[in-house]
Amino acid sequence: MHDPIPTVTLPSGIDVPALGQGTWNMGENAADAAREIESLKTGLSLGLTLIDTAEMYAEGGAEKVTGRAIAGKRDAVFLVSKVYPWNASRRGTIEACDRSLQRLGTDRIDLYLLHWRGDHPLADTVAAFEELQQAGKIGAWGVSNFDVDDMQALLAVPGGENVAANQVLYNLGRRGIEYDLLPFCQERNIPIMAYSPIEQGRLLHHPDLIDIAKAYQATPAQVALAFVLERDGVIAIPKTSHPHRVEENRAALDLDITDEDWAVLDAAFPPPAKKTALAML
């Protein structure tokens, strides 16, 4: 029997699962589509009802895979997608959203993000987001790959205070946001969405992580996920195309790791002692 899935509350008051599903690298090969769809459906059946995608992923291919996975289940899914920065003019954002909606086979995106900061003025992008929200095409909007200075600039434009989330790279090996960005967002009740929470698998060979995982009869990936999920206001969105890995991710929520073992991981993966540039993949 699994522990309940914890939730993170968006500024609107909506609760979403703290563990969702990513789709980066999905939709790139038609031969993999059936397995990718099965993986997403497995996650939905386990309660991982937040699915994150983007127009960038396989140039819309991941949105199409996502659309097929959620067909007939749309109301049970919290759907996140993103607009390219070069499409994020006032008119371009609206047009990009319409294309994403078509690929996803739905009439609304629950959370629509600016993928990273580009050349278009933030005020124009925010104005488009607000217009899309008023039209019912999106439920809320947010950003991705924004550091503290970017967030401050966003909050200074009209409507910027309505930002609902910031999606950034965060995992045991990429803890830079703990110095300033994470507390900045926590103080303002802006959830962090952690992409690549196991660093696309590159973390999993660390001997200390392996030792702790063995002690809990868990996998290194589960312990790495548990680290991210331990943080207040953080949503983890691991990506996998293998249904059994989705089940493994879900079971990470059942781990109860001691303070002593967290201390071992802190020594192996030290928290930041100073400001560092925002990491991106």
Residue 108 sits in a domain whose CATH number is 3.20.20.100
Written as one letter, the residue type at 77 is V
pLDDT at 1: 66
Q: Pairing between strand 78-83 and 21-22?
A: unpaired
Considering the entire predicted model, what is its pTM?
A: 0.96
Residue 219 lies in a domain: no
Q: What is the mean pLDDT of residues 209-230?
A: 96
Confirm whether 154 is domain-assigned: yes
Beta bridge partners of 114: 83, 143
Q: What is the mean pLDDT of residues 174-195?
A: 97
**Residue 222 and residue 249 in contact, taking contact as beta carbons nearer than 8 Å:** yes
Q: What is the mean pLDDT of residues 70-75?
A: 96
Within-domain flag for 146: yes
Has residue 223 got a pLDDT over 80? yes
**Quick one: pLDDT at residue 197?**
95
Q: How many domains does the chain have?
A: 1
Q: What is the rounded distance in angstroms from the CA atom of residue 90 to the CA atom of residue 118?
A: 13
Q: Is the pLDDT of residue 201 over 90?
A: no
pLDDT interval class at 24 (50, 70, 90): very high
Residue with tokens 């600016």: 114
Nearest to 172 by CA among 145, 191, 147, 199: 199
Task: State how far the Cα of 18 lies from the Cα of 105, in Å rounded to an integer.
Answer: 25
For residue 115, is it within any domain? yes
pLDDT, residue 226, reads 96
* Containing structural domain, residue 238: 13-204+232-242
Q: Is residue 258 part of a domain?
A: no
249 falls in which pLDDT band (50, 70, 90)?
very high
Q: Is the residue at 281 inside a domain?
A: no
In a domain, 270, yes or no: no
Residue 93 lies in a domain: yes
- Give the H/E segment covering residue 144: strand 138-144
**57 among known catalytic residues:** yes
Q: Compute, in degrees rounded to 10, the torsion defined by CA atoms 170, 171, 174, 175.
A: 80
Pairing relation of β-strands 50-52 and 21-22?
parallel
55/48 Cα distance (integer angstroms) = 21
Task: Quote the tokens at residue 158.
Answer: 């009209």
